[in-house]
Amino acid sequence: MDFSEYRNIAPYRGKDFDDAIERVLNKREYLGAFVSILVGSGDLEALYTYLNMIIGNIEKVRSYAEFQKKITAGVFIPTIIGRTMSGFSDSGAERIDPEKGYLFLSNHRDIILDCALLDYTLLTHDKPLCEMAFGDNLMMNQFIEDLFRLNGGIIVRRALAMKEKYLSTIELSSYFMDVMTEEHTSVWLAQRSGRAKDGLDTTQPSIIKMLHLARANKGRSFRDIINGVDILPISISYEYDPNDINKGREEVLREQHHGEYEKKKYEDLISMARGMKAWKGRVHLSVGEPVKGDYGTPEEVAREVDRQIHLNYRLWDTNMFAYDYLEKSDRYADQLRDFDGEAFLARFSHLTPSVRDFVLSSYANPVRSRLREEGEI
């Protein structure tokens, strides 16, 4: 595979990697700010200990796989789990064949952690780590882009005119297909553009269609291409979403302004920081089964991905309580005997009714999705 064809979007390799390492090390104040998000700025001893350890590791790495193992999955994620979760669990990782390159198609709740926790899961199960796709809207400066691409990040160009966007999509599709089939390297991709702020995890068929673009001119049918790629649905569920209220406010404002919402300059960066440092309770990541079969359209494939994500989603007390509360039901009453519903509702008592109801629905919607898949509603 000729990686030079994809130099502008692919993870850093070779001299590009070494140059980015040098740039990051020259921005130690940025690294310090990043580490302070993880350990807090009040504990200077812990901050300097972590910072020196991370800088020492960065100086030694020579590839993005080493960066992931030594820094992201080796230091950052264990720190986040230890400081912001009461437990992290996973299931289904035994289905992953280390000799294959998968398209991990995942629901999307947190900008960074969804894919980072998959990498951590792969590492703990001794599976090859993956590359991961991010929108270029997150690349707010060179330092952030360097961190993403040093960590196996693939850049998805979004702010383009129609023709350029089409050509960019073909380039991205070609890279995905080449790296998965020729290099047997897996790729993480969110099932939709942007996070599911309402808790409804649905796959955009256009993402499935994109896979077909790179091979369609070679005479291969949609069915052959889909069955030749190992699409593996990933479902990640957070007991508490650190950005739940902010997501609710954003979506209510969007609705009030007829679908329009202009993000502030550093809004995504603030969301990333909050996602890393705020409390999440229990978190579970579930690996589904490869999507294989006689699928004739992107919509059919997307529907199967949705089905697996909905059924594999780990329902927490927060989800079941929100469902029963909004539906005025007692479906999960027996499972909620020890859950402090009043304390949960108190989290949202300062919100306007519209934002409060939206946030509660974002917790209840995974339950609704599960019940629909099971034919219960």
Residue type, 204: Q
Q: What is the pLDDT of residue 271?
A: 93
Q: What is the pLDDT of residue 217?
A: 67
Taking the CA atoms of 373, 375, 376 and 377 in sequence, report the sign of the dihedral they define.
positive
Residue type, 10: A
**How far is 119 from 68, CA to CA, in rounded Å?**
8
Summarize the confidence of residues 298-320 as an average pLDDT. 98
Angle at 328 between CA 322 and CA 331, to 5 degrees: 75
Summarize the confidence of residues 317-338 as an average pLDDT. 98
pLDDT, tens digit (0-9, with 9 covering 90-100), for 256-302: 876 777 777 778 889 999 999 999 999 999 999 999 999 999 999 99
- Decide: 64 and 79 in contact? Cβ < 8 Å: no
Residue type, 96: I
Q: Which residues pair with 237 in a beta bridge?
A: 284
Mean pLDDT of the chain: 94
Rounded to a whole number of angstroms, the CA Rg of the chain reads 21
Question: Is 80 exceeded by the pLDDT of residue 23?
Answer: yes
How many Å from the N-terminal Cα to the C-terminal Cα in the chain? 49
Tokens coding 220:
């291969």
Residues 6+ apart with CB under 8 A from 209: 298
Question: Is 80 exceeded by the pLDDT of residue 76?
Answer: yes
Question: Is 70 exceeded by the pLDDT of residue 341?
Answer: yes
Q: From 169, 159, 134, select the one nearest 148 (Cα to Cα).
A: 134
Tokens coding 187:
């790729």
Reported pTM:
0.95
Question: Is 70 exceeded by the pLDDT of residue 311?
Answer: yes
Measured CA distances, 44 to 35, 41, 90, 97, 274 (Å): 11, 6, 33, 43, 20
Residue type, 97: D
pLDDT, tens digit (0-9, with 9 covering 90-100), for 230-265: 999 999 999 999 999 999 999 999 888 767 777 777
Residue with tokens 């390297």: 185
